[in-house]
């Protein structure tokens, strides 16, 4: 029996490597949680495959050699069933390990309030290990994440001019966030300018252009890097410049490359990655993995009211190296938006807690 170690950032990914490398007959011996050289979580799964036993089973199954096409069909069906059985077994292993982790973490908490808070955080989708770190403060109605999460410095364009790039996936609400920020600061006497790189999509710039007209703010289209100098000239008196961008997809880098050529010409003071809370959690992690290469500096969440598992934003924030900035929900301008702080994040989660209690 040969024992091998498979490592991946997430447990199910390590288990998938076991299935891929050793096949459906692999036996998972144990799993360990550790960290890599950068301090990020890394799972190690020890698995083994008894080669001799597997070979005997194959030999016994092929005593007779029927017609080639019939044999191929049977082998394909057998392989399909093995894969299905393997996936089911791995899913049960992951589910069992997850329950074991949750139970052990819950038992380690000191009081009933913390345990109840832990249960609620896990129910909202917060990863058990993060829920454990936050449970005591959350259970005792204290602000959470003050030391465990990163918090961006508040933007004060009256004191220091700011050029803010808003980037993220299609449908994240970047344009709406730009409009909300522009209106919020404009109402407080800040001179605002609006620019957009969203010039390929039909009507992509129309909404922001309309808001600029309402606010009496300068507006510029950035189709190519050559447009940047002219656009910045229009913004020369603005204390706050907000730059909307075309939605990007980590699986289609061509459009993103076209945009970054424009971004790199802009003297941005902030590059905010805008992530919608209703986004698939794994896809969100993929975007965060690209944030370093794109020089993102802060993280903002939108559509906080459009997900039943808002705890994923905690998971994203914990993994991210970015400071938390804005949080938004709803379509009212400039309302339903605010700077994220330990207090505001706690209040949001407690509102979800209260809503679940009322529903039950």
Whole-angstrom distance, CA of residue 189 vs CA of residue 74: 75
* pLDDT at position 98: 53
What mean pLDDT comes out for the span 238-259?
86
Mean pLDDT of 194-203: 87
Residue 143 burial (10 A CB sphere; 0-12, 13-18, 19+):
middle
Report in angstroms the alpha-carbon separations of 72 from 75, 132, 170, 176, 292: 5, 51, 45, 56, 48
CB atoms within 10 A of CB 32: 11
Helix (H, G, I), strand (E, B) or coil at 138: helix
pLDDT band at 46 (very low <50, low <70, confident <90, very high): confident
Decide: 209 and 255 in contact? Cβ < 8 Å: no
> Do 152 and 230 form a contact (C-beta atoms < 8 A)?
no
Rounded Cα gap, residues 224 and 79, in angstroms: 52
Please say if the pLDDT value at position 14 is more than 50: yes
Q: Where are the domains of the chain?
A: 2-106, 162-340
Cβ atoms of 245 and 194 closer than 8 Å = no
Q: 42 falls in which pLDDT band (50, 70, 90)? A: confident
Torsion angles phi and psi, residue 258, rounded to 5: -60, -40
Instruction: For domain 162-340, give the fold.
Output: Rossmann fold (3.40.50)
Q: How confident is the model at residue 175 (pLDDT cuts 50, 70, 90)?
A: very high
Kindly tell me if the per-residue pLDDT of 215 is higher than 60: yes
Say which residues have a Cβ less than 8 Å from residue 97's Cβ, sequence separation at least 6: 11, 31
The DSSP code sequence of 142-200 is: ----TTTS-BPPPP-TTTS-EEEEEE-STTS-HHHHHHHHHHHHHTTT--EEEEE---S
- Segment among 76-90, 168-182, 185-199, 217-231 with least mean pLDDT: 76-90
Opening angle at CA 302, ends 121 and 177, nearest 5:
155
Mean pLDDT, residues 15-22: 77
pTM of the predicted structure, to 2 decimals: 0.71
Q: How do residues 282-324 score in pLDDT, each as one tens digit?
A: 889 888 988 888 899 999 999 988 888 889 999 999 988 899 9
What pLDDT, on the 0 to 100 scale, is given for residue 82? 56
């Amino acid at each position: 029996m040969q024992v091998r170690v498979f490592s991946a950032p997430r447990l199910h990914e390590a288990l998938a490597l076991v299935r891929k490398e050793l096949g459906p007959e692999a036996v998972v011996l144990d799993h360990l949680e550790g960290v890599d050289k950068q301090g990020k979580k890394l799972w190690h799964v020890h698995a083994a495959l008894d080669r001799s036993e597997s070979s005997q089973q194959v030999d016994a199954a092929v005593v007779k050699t029927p017609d080639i096409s019939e044999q191929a069909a049977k082998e394909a069906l057998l392989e399909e069933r093995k894969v299905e059985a393997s996936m089911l077994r791995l899913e049960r292993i992951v589910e069992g390990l997850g329950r074991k982790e949750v139970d052990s973490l819950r038992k380690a908490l000191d009081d009933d309030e913390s345990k109840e808070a832990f249960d609620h955080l896990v129910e909202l989708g917060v990863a058990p290990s993060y829920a454990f770190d936050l449970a005591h403060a959350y259970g005792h109605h204290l602000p959470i994440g003050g030391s465990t999460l990163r918090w961006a410095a508040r933007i004060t364009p009256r004191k220091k001019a700011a050029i803010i790039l808003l980037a993220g996936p299609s449908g994240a609400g970047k344009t709406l966030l730009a409009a909300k920020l522009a209106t919020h600061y404009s109402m407080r006497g800040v001179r605002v300018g609006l620019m957009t790189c969203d010039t390929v999509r039909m009507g992509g710039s129309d909404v922001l252009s309309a808001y600029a007209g309402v606010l009496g703010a300068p507006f510029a289209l950035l189709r190519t890097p050559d447009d940047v100098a002219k656009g910045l000239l229009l913004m020369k008196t603005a204390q706050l410049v907000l730059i909307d961008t075309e939605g990007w997809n980590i699986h289609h880098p061509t459009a993103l490359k076209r945009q970054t050529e424009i971004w790199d010409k802009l003297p941005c003071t902030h590059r905010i990655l805008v992530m919608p809370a209703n986004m698939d959690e794994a896809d969100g992690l993929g975007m965060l993995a690209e944030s370093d290469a794109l020089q993102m500096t802060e993280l903002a969440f939108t559509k906080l009211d459009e997900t039943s598992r808002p705890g994923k934003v905690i998971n994203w924030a914990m993994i991210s190296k970015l400071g938390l900035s804005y949080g938004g929900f709803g379509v009212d301008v400039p309302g339903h938006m605010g700077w994220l702080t330990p207090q505001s994040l706690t209040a949001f989660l407690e509102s979800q807690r209260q809503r679940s209690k009322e529903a039950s």
